[in-house]
Amino acid sequence: MKNTIKKPSKTRKILTVLLLLAVLGCLTVSGLDLFVVKSTEKRILPAKELSGHAFDCALVLGAGVKENGRLSDMLADRMDTAIALYKDGRVPKLLLSGDHGREDYDEVNAMRAYALERGVPSSDMFTDHAGFSTYESVYRARDVFAVEKAVIVTQEYHLHRALYIAESLGVEAVGVSADLHTYRGQPIRDGREVLARVKDVFSCLFAVKPTYLGGIIPVSGNGEASLG
């Protein structure tokens, strides 16, 4: 009696291919995530190490604002960190970049009001109302506000991506962490950030254009020119 060897079924073959693709996808995501983190970690500095460097501004990346216009804890910490850099003379201007894509939601003017209340002059604050994403904020900082050298202010988990984008777009940047507190829901943000890093690797690779550009408002001038 001849031994018969069963050939793998078509279904098993498909499942094997799908499994291999899933493993390859996970390895790609993990590899790109690790690359973004490791390639930027040395450019995250304590504020005291900024002395002796000339920066155009601190680029403050937006985050959530409550219905009453109050800043979320994360955004308040970003603003407090940037205001301290300004008052210590480490940066000459603040560029506030966030989402103001709807009439009923405005991160940017809330950030500006917060800084005004703490003594930052209107002339030294620039507002970017179309910073709908980290990538768009950095892109517009370069092309709309003529930023060449910046201190990026956000929480550390977010800084890696922002610094990677800046380097890819030709903006010389370092980061200062705004981690002044522990934030609820951070494990979820960390997971989303892995996917966001991968997405922005490809955004940089393909030089994706932001939603809006517009006329140039150099950050070296008067911030009131950017009021919208």
Tokens 């009131």, located at residue: 224
CB 228 within 8 A of CB 125: no
| Residue environment code for 51-88, b if the CB has 16+ CB neighbours within 10 A, otherwise e | eeeebbbbbbbbbebeeeeebbebbbbbbbbbbbbbee
Q: What is the edge-to-edge ordering of all strands in the sheet holding 94-97?
A: 125-128, 94-97, 57-61, 149-154, 172-177
Residue 142 has a CB neighbour count (10 Å cut-off) of: 16
Predicted local distance difference test score (pLDDT) of residue 150: 97
Tokens 């943000």, located at residue: 189
Predicted local distance difference test score (pLDDT) of residue 8: 64
Tokens read off for 163: 């610094």
Angle at 107 between CA 206 and CA 42, to 5 degrees: 50
Residue 47 has a CB neighbour count (10 Å cut-off) of: 16
Q: Is 132 exposed, middle or buried (0-12, 13-18, 19+ CB in 10 A)?
A: buried
Give the pLDDT of the chain (228 residues) as one tens digit per residue.
Answer: 455 555 667 787 777 777 777 777 787 888 889 999 999 999 999 998 987 779 999 999 999 899 888 999 999 999 999 999 999 999 999 999 998 878 778 899 999 999 999 999 999 999 999 999 999 999 999 999 999 999 999 999 999 999 999 999 999 999 999 999 999 999 999 999 999 999 999 999 999 999 999 899 999 999 999 986
pTM of the model: 0.89
Tokens read off for 159: 């800084």
